[in-house]
Structure 1
Amino acid sequence: MTAAGVPGPHRRRGPWRPAPPHGAGAAAPGAPRPFGRSREMDRTIFAVTVILLALGIAMVFSASFAKAMDDAGDPFYFLKRQLLWALVGVPVMWLFSHIEYRHWRQMARPALYSTLVLLVAVLLIGAARGGAERWIDFGFFSFQPSEWAKFALCIFFADHFTRVGPQVRDFRRGLGPWLLVVATVSGLIMLQPDLGTTVAIGGMAVLMAFLAGARIQHLLALGALAVPALIVAITQSEYRWRRITAFLDPWADPQGTGYHLIQGLLALGSGGWFGLGFGLSRQKIWYLPEQHTDFILAVLGEELGLLGTLTVLALYAVLIWRGFRTAATAPDTFGALLAAGITSIIAIQVVVNIGVVTATLPITGITLPLLSYGGSSLVVTLAAIGILINVSRHCPQ
């Protein structure tokens, strides 16, 4: 096995591996390129991120000014806070894009330990909002540990699978530690409770294990065990079960459990092809709940229309495509898995949020990355994209 944990030519490889660097003097296949001068970043990832961020700030203001005036007496309340977090997040993204991504291997275990400490802390001293304890309140700002957990686990799993290499096909050595971490973190997040984030983290973890070369039989067996647990978690929770029934027939209780979905669909349908115009949404004014967070896409659809919505979806598609392209061309296993994990967690959140707003998935508390209001989500997502950009600097052009 090579130093980076990538199996040598005589070993059986997993179903997917990064492309080795090309050109004169390139390392042997699978070996990492040494530290050195990096190439240009993937400008497409950077440009799409900036566009989505700018659009998100504008849409947060448009979606929230009525609620901000009603709640805080200041129509710019949510806008100012989102701008503040953007002013924090953009420099963090720039900084992380210039830190050699392999340095993050040294942070793999500290990232996991900090995640566990924060998830326990939020259960002990967390601030309750909407019936869930997901935030640690520091007075002048609040932090959501589950947002950090998503990307901390990307780092940890990328390091773990790089170290075990082809032994990932051995359940005890490869998937045993992985399963323990997934189960522990998922259990702590479910206690908040937060089923949506648990599903997102589980999806990312499974994808990273698959790309690392884990046996399909092992993953299918674990999935078969997870399904009954998921069914129990839904059926034993009244509010989760009501969300399922509302998803199946929102019109059965249009003023109760089906209210969110119906108002979201009305907002999307009211936009037509070109929308009502920026700031002119009617559903956001005391009709559409969570209009600046979970359902911000519905407001965007009403104001910018189908064409505006499709443009946003195209931007996300480009971001996800370039992210997985970076993973596929990364010079070593750690970089490939790290890029794949970051991209997959963004992709899962996009798919789930869009599915909820369009009533193709049951309601979960998943926000739309870079567009929805939320400081923890915005800063951590920008930081993760910064890491992704750094990986792209080391990919063959």
Structure 2
Amino acid sequence: MFVNYIKRIDSLFVTIVLLFCLFGLVMVYSASFPISLMQHEDARFLFSKQLQSFVIGFILLFITAIVPYRIYGKLNPFFVMLSIFFLILILIPGIGVERNHSQRWLHVGSLVIQPTELVKLLMIIYFSYIYAKKQEYIDDFKKGVLPPLLILATVFLLILKQPDLGTATAILIPCGLILLCSGARKIHLILLTSTAVGGIVFFALTSSYRLKRVLSFQNPFQDSDGSGYQLVNSYYAIGNGGIWGQGLGKGIQKLGFLPEAHTDFIMAVISEELGVFGLLIVIFSYLFIMRRGVRIAILSKDPFAKLLAIGLTFQIMTQALFNLGAVCGLLPITGVPLPFISYGGSSLIIMLITTGILVNLSYHARKHA
């Protein structure tokens, strides 16, 4: 049984993702060694923590690749309660960890975890399973469409309280695509999309710091020492890279000029050091993942598997789009990490778990095909 599973596993998909993660580890070391040296007197400090997360994620990838995906459907009520529990726990003073005016983390022993990364995954599983079950009455808005949206709205508002509009929006988009692919009526989709967009715009414009971010990305040089500082230095990094880059480890902007060089703006470091070549590695890797994920969805016969493959694939793509758009000034800075690449243990582990679930979906799709 296990031998047959190994034969049918999507080895190319796993290989590309793992190579992509290894590339990310190299770039995390390159981008983080200056700050590691200054703050911890060890150039490998942040790299070592990321490597530990990769090892944990690697193990969990193969566990989730073996565990049948249908089990997640049975655990669905628990997943919803766990998501809301974590999001409330973060907001309790003294329990949630505050950084940069945001309360998004929890201390677990010596570790600091970001539960919203897990919540993204759990909400996609919840939406996929519920809308797969509601296929018979998906045309009925009150009975078929509305109930899961109330849960999603609760999660959205709790994440917004951290505050983290970027992550809250990054959850809405794949969940919206799941609803779209479930066969909901066009009029319902139009009304819900209009409501969601209106809500996001409202929350963005009614908060002074969010409004500053929205305005700064349009003309960062107007306040290059203030709200536009990050983006201006990102432009400098990208411009310095040119076609061939400055060489691995030879970037200048990470030496105290570019804030969050190893996290949100690691793509700027990649561009500076590897040039267009580094950009192509990242773009083609994401395109491969998207193509594979859509193919898994097309081949899957089970509605739950189809919707889950779509949700997981476009969760990765949404985060990649938000991050890359922010780095090059096409979108406001949201603080969403670059999947598989940015420093952040919670994000990397969840991305590898997501890959494991997609591998399991791929196995069942190939088996039936």
Cα contact 1:63–1:284 (8 A) shared by 2: yes
> How far apart in 2 are the matches of 1:114 and 1:38?
32
> How far apart in 2 are the matches of 1:326 and 1:152?
20
Unaligned runs of 5+ in 1: 1-35
1:42 shift after superposition: 1.8
Correspondence for 2:12 = 44
1:381 paired with 2:351, answer: yes
Match of 1:134, SS?
Answer: strand
Correspondence for 2:87 = 119
1:104 paired with 2:72, answer: yes
Per mean C-alpha deviation after superposition, the further-off stretch among 221-230 and 114-123 is: 221-230
| 1:300 equivalent among 247, 264, 270 | 270
Per mean C-alpha deviation after superposition, the further-off stretch among 138-147 and 86-95 is: 138-147
1:59 shift after superposition: 0.5
1:119 shift after superposition: 0.5
Correspondence for 2:228 = 258
Q: Provide closer, same or farther for how the CA distance between residues 244 and 103 of structure 1 changes in structure 2, counting only shifts above 3 A.
A: same
1:214 paired with 2:214, answer: no
| 1:342 equivalent among 312, 328, 333 | 312
Mapping of residues 1-397 of structure 1, within 5 Å: 40-124=8-92, 125-396=95-366
The structure carrying a bigger helix percent of its residues is 2
> How far apart in 1 are the matches of 2:136 and 2:173?
22
> How far apart in 1 are the matches of 2:23 and 2:84?
34
> How far apart in 1 are the matches of 2:359 and 2:70?
13
1:213 shift after superposition: 0.6
Aligned residues: 362
Cα contact 2:5–2:363 (8 A) shared by 1: no
1:37 shift after superposition: 6.3
For 2:144, the aligned partner's letter is: G
Q: Provide closer, same or farther for how the CA distance between residues 76 and 37 of structure 1 changes in structure 2, counting only shifts above 3 A.
A: closer
For 2:101, the aligned partner's letter is: G
For 2:97, the aligned partner's letter is: A
Match of 2:134, SS?
Answer: helix
> How far apart in 1 are the matches of 2:26 and 2:333?
25
Cα contact 1:38–1:393 (8 A) shared by 2: no
Cα contact 1:118–1:145 (8 A) shared by 2: yes
- Once the two structures are superposed, residues 228-255 of structure 1 have per-residue CA deviations (whole angstroms, 9 ceiling, x without a partner) of 3222211221111111111111111111
Match of 1:223, SS?
Answer: helix
> How far apart in 2 are the matches of 1:37 and 1:70?
48
1:302 shift after superposition: 0.5
> How far apart in 2 are the matches of 1:58 and 1:369?
15
- Once the two structures are superposed, residues 126-162 of structure 1 have per-residue CA deviations (whole angstroms, 9 ceiling, x without a partner) of 0001110000112310111110011101111111011
Q: Provide closer, same or farther for how the CA distance between residues 101 and 280 of structure 1 changes in structure 2, counting only shifts above 3 A.
A: same
1:220 shift after superposition: 1.2
Cα contact 1:293–1:372 (8 A) shared by 2: yes
> How far apart in 2 are the matches of 1:274 and 1:193?
39
Identity %: 36
> How far apart in 2 are the matches of 1:233 and 1:182?
16
> How far apart in 2 are the matches of 1:245 and 1:91?
43
For 2:67, the aligned partner's letter is: I
1:38 shift after superposition: 8.2
Give RMSD over aligned pairs.
1.3
1:66 shift after superposition: 0.3
- Once the two structures are superposed, residues 87-146 of structure 1 have per-residue CA deviations (whole angstroms, 9 ceiling, x without a partner) of 111000011101111121111111111001000000112000111000011231011111
1:311 shift after superposition: 1.9
State the TM-score, normalizing by the size of structure 2: 0.96
Correspondence for 1:12 = none
1:395 shift after superposition: 1.5
1:39 shift after superposition: 6.0
Unaligned runs of 5+ in 2: none
Match of 2:338, SS?
Answer: coil
User: Which structure: larger Rg?
Assistant: 1
1:223 shift after superposition: 2.0
> How far apart in 2 are the matches of 1:326 and 1:40?
13
